[in-house]
Structure 1
Amino acid sequence: MSDEDATTVPAGDFGPPEDGLQRLWTPHRMVYIGGQDKPADGTVGQCPFCRIPAGDDEQGLVVARGAECYALLNLYPYNSGHLMVLPYRHVSDYVDLTDSETAELAAMTQTAVRTLGAVYSPAGYNIGMNQGEVAGAGIAAHLHQHVVPRWLGDANFLPVAGQTKALPELLADTRARLAAAWPSGAGSTSEGGR
């Protein structure tokens, strides 16, 4: 095509056709979709859930620490307040947890629900684990239980229809609110190291 054949086309002609939908463009999500920072393999050395407890709680989004388990915010949350409760030990299967890890995981999950209820007043929760990559676990090598607060009318289908998630609060602010509200007597310390 020569310069003589080139024509100028208005920028407005390049978008999707008019369909009545408003679009929320979230190019920052490409990091997650592209797998940036996803572990190259299932080893302890590659596992972010093994590295996070050795670092700063605010930087790692750690909300609370127990003797064998800890709670942190999901870096790619489904909803504001989306917590994960997991053992410090690098274990992938629920049946491989020790009795004391199982008990603390359950107790911290209950505390997570109580704390989310006190801070955000959700109408309900999704609580569960995805065992294995085929079941949807993003990091299958290190067991983690999701605690997702839910509200009537939340953006349940927005990720499906618009492939985006609207979150009204920054993760650092969510972490600070939940860490401050987490009861210190609930088998955890919300600040400092293990």
Structure 2
Amino acid sequence: MEYFFNFEKMKYVKGKKYPGCILCSIVEKRDDVVNLCIWEDEDFLVSVNLYPYNPGHLFIFPRRHLTDIRELTGKQEAKLDRITRSCLNLLDAVYAPSGYNIGYNMGLTAGASIDHIHRHIIPRYPRETGIADLLAGKRVLVESPKVSCERLKKVLSELTTPFA
């Protein structure tokens, strides 16, 4: 079996971090963070990932700083599931991916670089791995996260009940 390694990953994991919680700073609408939020209500926010794996890579996270999904109430879990389904419908309309990865990274050893719990929704496409991904350990993005944010906001604004 052969493995390809991304030698930059450890530098990212151990590198300089934003002081405080980046997601709490987005909730607070601080000017010193990039805010790619496309939707919010009294409990949750939906944001384009600033460092996406693919175009349309979203985070769904609670306003309240939580570090474990078991801290969500049953009502919040049900709402999060509804928001997730709405996000999938939105991503289908904008990007028409052929699949999704959906999940959490809880804890640094699990790959979490942000302590505030957040659900990833990553659209997946056929033949998305390129030579730069394999040999250089780099991702080739075909769309800026800021462009993704604008595209998603535009379609979202046209829906009568976007996140019911």
Pick from 92, 102, 105 the counterpart of residue 130 of structure 1. Answer: 105
Q: Percent identity?
A: 34
1:59-138, aligned counterparts within 5 Å? 59-138=34-113
Work out whether residues 53 and 60 of structure 1, in 8 Å CA contact, stay in contact via their aligned partners in 2: no
Pick from 141, 148, 154 the counterpart of residue 128 of structure 2. Answer: 154
Q: Distance in 2 between matches of 1:66 and 1:31?
A: 35
State the structure with more CA Rg: 1
- TM-score normalized by structure 1? 0.70
The 3 A distance-change label for structure 1 pair 56 and 175 is farther
Give the CA RMSD over aligned residues: 2.8
Gaps of 5+ in 2: 1-7
Q: Distance in 2 between matches of 1:166 and 1:187?
A: 31
2:137 is aligned to 163
- TM-score normalized by structure 2? 0.81
Gaps of 5+ in 1: 1-26, 41-45, 189-194
Residue-pair matches, total? 154
1:108-128 deviation line (CA, Å, top 9, x unaligned): 111111111100010101111
The 3 A distance-change label for structure 1 pair 135 and 34 is closer
1:70-95 deviation line (CA, Å, top 9, x unaligned): 11011111111110111111001111
